[in-house]
Copies of this chain bind each other. A is one copy, B any other.
Amino acid sequence: MITVEEILRKQDLRGTACRRFIINGLLESDRALSENELKGDFPELFDRVTFYRTLITLEEHGIIHKIVLNDNSVKYALNSHHQNENNLHSHFHCEECDEVLCLEGKTRFEAELPDNFVSHSVFVVIEGFCADCASHIK
């Protein structure tokens, strides 16, 4: 399993507490996390702006990616959670418990674009119920 220091080193990024904190949080989680979920029990550990800029830095270096949901909320996940190399970023969002998962592997999307349109990347959010919530509800 890859370590935080390796991830930072590979991108020529300095090792700072905030970067380590965020990457660790995502490494330990099997789902995507919002800024507040990441902060968890330490909401004041880093300045809001530092956290904000660190997320940008990690995204720019291809370590994490942002997932914007239909309710305007945002979650983050490690890029390593996506296996496919075809620029298809697909995610599941549970309407009940709000959990967000990166969908690895077997996703497929096809769209017929207007003439001469060029596609660079595709973002998919599937809204529904996760297994737990589906069994509890009705």
- Which of A's residues lie within 8 Å of B, judged by CB? 66, 68-72, 74, 90, 92, 95, 101, 103, 105-131, 134-135
Contacts and interface: CB of A to CB of B under 8 A. Distances in A.
Contact of A111 (B68, B106, B111): B106
A111 B103 contact: yes
Question: How many copies of this protein are present in the complex?
Answer: 2
Does more than half of chain A's interface fall in helix, strand or loop, or is it mixed? strand
Nearest to A110: B108
A112 B122 contact: no
Contacts of A113: 92, 103, 126, 128
Contact of A123 (B70, B103, B110): B70
A101 B120 CA distance: 15
Most B-side CB within 10 Å, residue of A70, A103, A114, A134: A70
Contacts of A114: 92, 101, 130-131
